[in-house]
Each structure stands twice: as structure tokens, then as C-alpha cells.
Amino acid sequence: MKTRPSSLDDAREFLASKRIAVVGLSRRENDFSRMVLRELVRRGHDVVPVHPALKEAEGRTCYARVQDVRPPPDAALIMTPPAITEQIVRDCAEAGVSRVWLHRGVGPGAASEAAIAFCAAKGIRLVRDLCPFMALPDASFAHRLHGFFRRGFAGHGAAPARAP
């Protein structure tokens, strides 16, 4: 199943969620995932870090699994290796999360064909092949340019996996 990247409209709809789990947050404070978490917090989101080996990140309680988060998040930004992403989207479905973003910046990103297919089968609204910084209303020129090229030249084929 080859799909196109998600649109910026899909990404901005995801970013309208108030409570967002960031799954796969790094232990390293200077990691990109930490920058994303800090920026979402700065913009007023209630961000919940999820990582099985952390108790706290950026002054926030960190949860081992999405199902452990109370109250549950509205959405989940997944920044894990593709090999474990399918299990993470299954965890999101079990937790009642209806919006998932499979992060992709430089490199392969979090998406796997199995995770994409699972989201489609369960009606989970999916954003993929984008970085959150590309979708922010006042993104820097570099992030907007990166998004333009990512959307313009990445996977051609069927429409993006998205529930009605």
C-alpha cells in the first residue's frame, strides 16, 4: 500500500487537539523529540510524554504506555522506530485515541505499512510523512521549504490513509 504524505490541513487538524501524547520521547534532553514536546507545550497543548524507561520529562510525568495516561489523550504523535510503531498504534486504539501522527523528519520516520493499515482498518485519523514543525502556522522558512519538498516528491500513488 503506497500512499502520499498527509496534507498540511490534516496536520493542522491534528494540531487542533489539546491533549497530545508524544510517544517515543528520547531520554536525551537535546533530542529533536524534546524540542517538539517543548514547542507544543509553548503553544498551549497539554502534552503527555510516553516512554517506558522515563518517570519524568521536561517537568511532566512520563507514562510507560499510552493506555496508562489519565485522562486519555485526544491524539498521539508517534516518534518511534517503524519496527515498534504497529504495537504503538494498537496501544493508541486500546486507549481510545482517534488521531495519530506518524512522525517523519529526516530519515525513515515512524511509519510502517502495518501501522498504516491498522489505522485505516480502525478508523484512526492518520497524519504521516510530515514533521510537526512543517505544519505550524508560523513555521520558519526552512520548515516550510522542507514540507514543500516532502509533499511534492514523496510517495505517489493512492490517496493518504484516512478514516472518513
Structural domain includes residue 89:
yes
Residue span of the structural domain in which 71 resides: 8-152
Structural domain includes residue 63:
yes
Cα separation, 137 vs 120, in Å, equals: 27
Structural domain includes residue 164:
no
Q: Which pLDDT value is given to residue 6?
A: 64
Candidates 129, 131, 157; CA nearest to 144 is 131
Report the length, in residues, of the chain: 164
Structural domain includes residue 136:
yes
Q: Which pLDDT value is given to residue 138?
A: 66
Q: Is the pLDDT of residue 20 over 80?
A: yes
Structural domain includes residue 94:
yes
Above pLDDT 90, what percent of the chain?
62
Q: What is the pTM of this model?
A: 0.81
Q: Could you report the per-residue pLDDT of 27-72, keeping only the tens digit for each?
A: 998 998 999 999 999 999 999 999 999 999 999 999 999 999 999 9
| β pairing state of 75-78 and 19-23 | parallel
Q: Could you report the per-residue pLDDT of 109-130, keeping only the tens digit for each?
A: 899 999 999 999 999 999 998 8
Structural domain includes residue 159:
no
Q: What is the 3-state secondary structure (H, E, C) of the chain?
A: CCECCCCHHHHHHHHCCCEEEEECCCCCCCCHHHHHHHHHHHCCCEEEEECCCCCEECCEECECCHHHCCCCCCEEEECCCHHHHHHHHHHHHHHCCCEEEECCCCCCCCCCHHHHHHHHHHCCEEEECCCHHHHCCCCCHHHHHHHHHHHHHCCCCECCCCCC
Q: Taking each helix axis from N to C terminus, what angle separates 113-122 and 82-95, rounded to the nearest 10 degrees?
A: 20
Q: What is the CATH number of the domain that holds 75?
A: 3.40.50.720
* Residue 136 banded pLDDT, cuts 50, 70, 90: confident
Instruction: Report how many domains make up the chain.
Output: 1
